[in-house]
């Protein structure tokens, strides 16, 4: 800056157009934070030694009643050498590898949010503070290309920038939006907050980075196996070509894709996309959820996949609300997905779709109680049995009924049995009646119990009191593999109907004197014990 004026060199009517660009409040406010972060990084050798806690601090105050927004930072300040560039539209910095690559952020955001804005800044090591006032109505009415700068003597060690927005536009945040503004900004700058570079304060609230819990569990195909942290480290690159097919660089993704410990439908699930350390177009509840990574909307995979990817090689819009080159971006993500699928060491997508969190003992007991009660209710209903040709029968007594034959335990079932031995569940017995016709009635007592995992699905015996006793083995492998059968009333009813028919069929066959009925159950249980 060589005078007490600064160039805003562009046609003033261009400024008016910025009021109507598509933008969001948090993206507009993020531009001020970007400038502060880049200033801090450019001068970290000085600022980390003199700033409190060796950090950058940015404070945003949104006062809806007073119609004013203030953004204050303790970065290096705008130096004399950079002052013209800071206020000339699209005066691109020599180093475009930072967060202020377009030279437009502060100007566009200020015009988008307000009619009148003031910037006061003091650069470290300089002796004057500088203040500029930008009134869009005056600028456009008078076709101004320069604005006056007020100077005042200041302490050489001071360093700050204060942006004050007044006469706010229709784009200003509403009171109900402020909580969302906080959450989006915390998400956008989560890496800088997490790494201890930035303290970001909005309306006196220090924003924090929320760390999501990654699933630690066995593979869904081996529920009794060892637990694994379901997080896949991503370090992937693909060539970048120009329109003539010549390679001009690489696209790069680094970070992780994982599975959430708790499902989410709209906030935690999805991918945060970073570029140069800050999120682009995927903050908070607007995370990136492509079908190729997250599956069908509403599916378990959609609700569980999450992650963070730092991307390089892609351009972004000047509002930093999205990545450009949609086709190349989508293709890159598909290639990365294919690379993930090839890696058989961690079946992220299969686990996200099929894993079911084990129920607590109380939940298991409740579901088991409901199952046994539903079986009893189904058995109590009248049974319509079609007539059959008479067959030869053999007289069978209760003592003739063979014992249940157990399946040979596998190492997996044995480990599952040991793991669940402390979670024994016993369901109180329920007595009901089997009425195959108008003249026959049989007493049946049903209960559920956690027996050995390698025992059959059910057992049935007739005791001297004349009653039949059916025991449902809640530890059978069937209930581990098909846990979803106990997750809803409809599934429980279907399962109850299946078990009811097995039990009643065996009971009626025994009453008919068919000795092979129990042998069938033993063979059936051998199979179910191995599921």
pLDDT, one tens digit per residue, over 189-228 is: 999 999 999 999 999 999 999 899 999 999 988 888 899 9
Contact 289, 271 (CB under 8 A): yes
Q: Give 403's pLDDT tier (boundaries 50, 70, 90).
A: very low
Q: Which of 70-79, 93-102, 213-222, 377-386 shows the lowest mean pLDDT across its residues?
A: 93-102
The pLDDT of residue 241: 84
Asked whether the predicted pLDDT for residue 155 surpasses 50, the reply is yes
Minimum mean pLDDT range among 252-266, 295-309, 371-385: 371-385
pLDDT tens for each residue of 327-341: 888 999 999 999 999
Radius of gyration of the chain from its Cα atoms, rounded to whole angstroms: 35
Residues 141-154: what's their mean pLDDT? Answer: 88
Instruction: Give the model's pLDDT for residue 416.
Output: 43
Q: Which of the four pLDDT bands, split at 50, 70 and 90, describes residue 411?
A: very low
- pLDDT of 400 reads 40
Say if residue 287's pLDDT is above 90: yes
Question: Mean pLDDT lowest for which of 290-304, 415-429, 439-453?
Answer: 415-429
- Is the separation of the CB atoms in 521 and 405 below 8 Å? no
Pairwise CA distance, residues 8 & 85, whole Å: 9
The two three-digit tokens of residue 432, written as one number:
């009901």
Q: What is the pLDDT of residue 516?
A: 78
Residue entry with tokens 């302490």? 155
Break the chain into its structural domains and give their ranges.
Answer: 5-206, 216-354, 361-529
- CA dist 87 and 100 (Å) reads 13
Name the helix (H) or strand (E) containing 497.
Answer: helix 489-511
CATH fold of 216-354 reads Ribosomal Protein S5; domain 2 (3.30.230)
Query: What does the pLDDT read at residue 394?
Result: 39
Q: What is residue 383's predicted lDDT score, i.e. its pLDDT?
A: 58
Q: What is the pLDDT of residue 343?
A: 85
Report for 86-95, 322-331, 363-372, 419-428: range of highest mean pLDDT = 322-331
C-alpha 83/C-alpha 76 separation (Å) is: 13
Evaluate if residue 284 carries a pLDDT over 90: yes
* C-alpha span between 352 and 185 (Å, rounded): 28
Provide the pLDDT for residue 375.
Answer: 79
Max Cα-Cα span within the chain: 116
pLDDT at residue 412 in the model:
42
Reduced to 3 states, what is the DSSP secondary structure of residue 5?
strand
Share of the chain above pLDDT 70, in %: 81
Residue 160 has pLDDT above 80, yes or no: yes
As a whole-number percent, the residues of the chain with pLDDT over 90 amount to 45
33-47, 146-160, 253-267, 425-439 — which is least confidently predicted? 425-439
The pLDDT of 402-407, averaged and rounded, is: 39
**CA 39 – CA 357 distance, rounded (Å):** 47
On average, the pLDDT of the chain sits at: 83
0.75 cut: is pTM over it? no
Query: What integer pLDDT is reported at residue 229 of this predicted model?
Result: 96
- 3-state secondary structure labels for all residues of 127-186: CEEEEEEEEHHHHHHHCCCEEEEEEEECCCCCCEEEEEEEEECCCCCCHHHHHHHHHHHH
The phi and psi torsions of 482 (rounded to 5 degrees) equal -115, 55
Strand order across the 5-7 sheet:
5-7, 146-153, 128-135, 114-122, 160-168, 68-73, 56-63, 198-202, 205-206
pLDDT at residue 307 greater than cutoff 70: yes
Does the pLDDT value for residue 388 go beyond 90? Answer: no
User: Which tokens hold the place of 359?
Assistant: 């129920």
Q: What is the pLDDT of residues 471-496, one digit of tens each?
A: 888 777 777 666 665 666 777 777 77
CATH architecture of the domain with residue range 5-206: 2-Layer Sandwich (3.30)
Q: What is the DSSP secondary-structure string of 14-81? A: HHHHHTTS---HHHHHHHHHHHHHHHHHHTHHHHHHHSGGG-EEEEEEEETTTTEEEEEE-S----HH
> What's the CA gap between 523 and 526, in Å, rounded?
5
């Amino acid at each position: 800056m060589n005078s007490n004026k600064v160039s805003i060199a562009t046609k003033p009517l261009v400024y008016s157009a910025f009021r109507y660009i598509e933008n969001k409040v948090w993206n507009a406010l993020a531009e001020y934070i970007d400038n502060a972060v880049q200033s801090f990084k450019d001068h970290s050798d000085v600022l980390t030694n003199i700033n409190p806690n060796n950090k950058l601090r940015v404070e945003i105050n949104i006062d809806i009643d007073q119609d004013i927004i203030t953004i204050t930072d303790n970065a290096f300040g705008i130096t004399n050498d950079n002052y013209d560039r800071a206020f000339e539209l699209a005066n691109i910095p020599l180093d475009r590898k930072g967060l202020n690559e377009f030279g437009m952020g502060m100007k566009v955001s200020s015009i988008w949010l307000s009619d009148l804005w003031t910037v006061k800044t003091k650069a470290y090591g300089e002796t004057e503070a500088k203040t500029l006032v930008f009134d869009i109505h005056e600028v456009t009415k008078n076709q101004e290309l320069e604005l006056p700068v007020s100077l005042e003597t200041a302490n050489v060690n001071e360093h700050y920038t204060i942006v004050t927005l007044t006469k706010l536009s229709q784009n200003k945040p509403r009171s109900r939006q402020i909580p969302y503004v906080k959450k989006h900004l915390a998400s956008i700058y989560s890496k800088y907050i997490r790494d201890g570079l930035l303290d970001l304060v909005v309306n006196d609230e220090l924003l924090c980075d929320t760390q999501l819990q990654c699933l630690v569990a066995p593979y869904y195909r081996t529920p009794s196996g060892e637990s694994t942290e379901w997080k896949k480290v991503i370090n992937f690159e693909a060539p970048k070509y120009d329109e003539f097919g010549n390679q001009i660089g690489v696209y790069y993704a680094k970070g992780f894709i994982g599975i959430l410990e708790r499902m989410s439908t709209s906030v935690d699930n999805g991918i945060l996309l970073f570029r140069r350390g800050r999120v682009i177009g995927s903050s908070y509840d607007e995370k990136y959820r492509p079908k190729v990574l997250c599956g069908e909307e509403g599916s378990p995979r959609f609700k569980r996949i999450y992650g963070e990817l730092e991307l390089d090689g892609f351009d972004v819009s000047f509002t930093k609300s999205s990545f450009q080159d949609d086709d190349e971006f989508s293709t890159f993500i598909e290639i990365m997905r294919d690379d993930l699928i090839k890696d058989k060491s961690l079946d992220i997508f299969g686990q996200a779709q099929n894993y079911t969190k084990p129920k607590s003992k109380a939940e298991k007991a409740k579901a088991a109680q409901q199952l046994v009660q539903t079986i009893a209710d189904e058995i109590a209903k009248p049974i319509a049995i079609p007539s059959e040709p008479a067959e030869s029968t053999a007289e069978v007594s209760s003592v003739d009924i063979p014992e249940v034959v157990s399946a040979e335990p596998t190492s997996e079932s044995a480990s599952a049995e040991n793991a669940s031995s402390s979670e024994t569940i016993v369901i109180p017995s329920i007595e009901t009646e089997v009425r195959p016709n108008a003249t026959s009635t049989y007493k049946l007592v049903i209960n559920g119990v956690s027996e050995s995992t390698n025992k059959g699905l059910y057992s049935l015996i007739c005791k001297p009191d004349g009653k039949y006793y059916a025991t449902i083995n809640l530890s059978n492998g069937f209930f581990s593999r098909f846990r979803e059968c106990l997750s809803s009333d409809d599934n429980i009813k279907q399962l109850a109907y299946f078990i009811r028919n097995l039990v009643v069929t065996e009971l009626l066959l025994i009453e008919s004197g068919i000795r092979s009925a129990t042998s069938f159950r033993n063979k059936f249980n051998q199979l179910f014990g191995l599921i």
